[in-house]
């Protein structure tokens, strides 16, 4: 059976080393791809922050306490709770997020590097670190139920995870992908993260590439 493809992309998730072309570092590559017919479809950023001297802000502590009185629970998951977490990650976000959790646990990184938000015994959010290739300072994956965004659950989970990373003696927290002006991007900035790298998601029509390269 012949399979015909109509387009191709550069570094589309989930299978990528970096989330796009870093045009500032590779201007010749950017020029080559644009001439070949590739167009920018998104511009994610990588961010990091120092953990030296980090302490959970008082307002986050108060928010966590308030949500706890409302019936939420923020905790390290038990082994018996992992299936619910995997289902939430895979069905609510992306299958590779569940794979990242499995790989982390398979390599013995431990449940202590995961924080989960529960509401009435249902997973409504989670955050973790060291999930990708065992790199301890790499934060993520991280997500909250879309219907509950705005309740501050992501803020609580983010800072709980940063606290755990600091307690482990890590000096930095970083990740590769977010939208700079997205709600997540604003949350990270409020938590002290800053942009360190900028990428371009690029895609091209295969017919356009063939025509361009033949000229």
Rounded CA-CA distance 114/127 in Å is: 6
Residue 113 contacts by C-beta under 8 Å, 6 or more apart in sequence?
104, 128, 129, 130, 131, 164
Range of the domain at 141: 56-162
The reply to whether 36 and 97 lie within a common domain is no
**Is residue 157, in this structure, part of any structural domain at all?**
yes
**Is residue 5, in this structure, part of any structural domain at all?**
no
Q: Is the pLDDT of residue 110 over 90?
A: no
Rounded CA-CA distance 53/50 in Å is: 8
**Is residue 167, in this structure, part of any structural domain at all?**
no
108-112, 166-170, 185-189: least confident range: 108-112
Indicate the number of domains in the chain: 2
The reply to whether 30 and 123 lie within a common domain is no
Pinpoint the alpha helices (H) of the chain. Answer: 27-35, 58-69, 82-92, 95-106, 153-167, 183-190, 206-214
The reply to whether 90 and 30 lie within a common domain is no
Taking CA atoms, 15 is separated from 9, 18, 157, in Å, by 11, 9, 26
Residue 19 contacts by C-beta under 8 Å, 6 or more apart in sequence?
11, 13, 44, 46, 176, 177, 199, 201
Residues 6/205, Cβ–Cβ less than 8 Å:
yes
**pTM exceeds 0.85 for this model:** yes
Give 84-99 pLDDT, tens digit per residue: 999 999 999 987 899 9
Q: What is the mean pLDDT of the chain?
A: 91
Question: Cα dihedral sign for 179, 137, 86, 151?
Answer: negative
Give 29-48 pLDDT, tens digit per residue: 999 999 988 999 999 999 99
The reply to whether 60 and 157 lie within a common domain is yes
φ, ψ of residue 93 to 5 degrees: the values are: -135, -85
- Quick one: average pLDDT of 157-180? 97
Q: Is the pLDDT of residue 118 over 80?
A: yes
The reply to whether 37 and 94 lie within a common domain is no
């Amino acid at each position: 059976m012949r399979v015909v493809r109509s387009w191709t992309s550069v570094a589309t998730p989930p299978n990528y080393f970096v989330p796009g072309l870093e045009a500032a570092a590779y201007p010749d590559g950017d020029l080559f791809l644009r001439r070949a017919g590739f167009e920018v479809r998104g511009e994610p950023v990588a961010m990091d922050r120092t953990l030296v001297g980090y302490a959970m802000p008082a307002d986050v502590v108060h928010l966590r306490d308030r949500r706890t009185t409302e019936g939420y629970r923020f905790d390290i998951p038990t082994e018996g709770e992992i299936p619910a977490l995997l289902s939430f990650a895979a069905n609510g976000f992306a299958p590779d997020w569940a794979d990242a959790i499995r790989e982390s646990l398979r390599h013995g990184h431990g449940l202590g590097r995961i924080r989960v938000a529960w509401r009435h015994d249902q997973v409504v959010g989670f955050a973790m670190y060291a999930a990708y290739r065992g790199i301890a300072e790499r934060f993520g994956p991280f997500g909250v139920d879309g219907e509950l965004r705005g309740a501050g659950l992501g803020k609580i989970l983010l800072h709980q995870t940063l606290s755990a990373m600091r307690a482990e003696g890590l000096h930095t927290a970083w990740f590769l992908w977010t939208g700079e002006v997205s709600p997540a991007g604003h949350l990270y900035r409020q938590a002290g993260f800053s942009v360190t790298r900028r990428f371009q998601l690029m895609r091209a029509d295969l017919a356009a590439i063939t025509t361009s390269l033949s000229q």
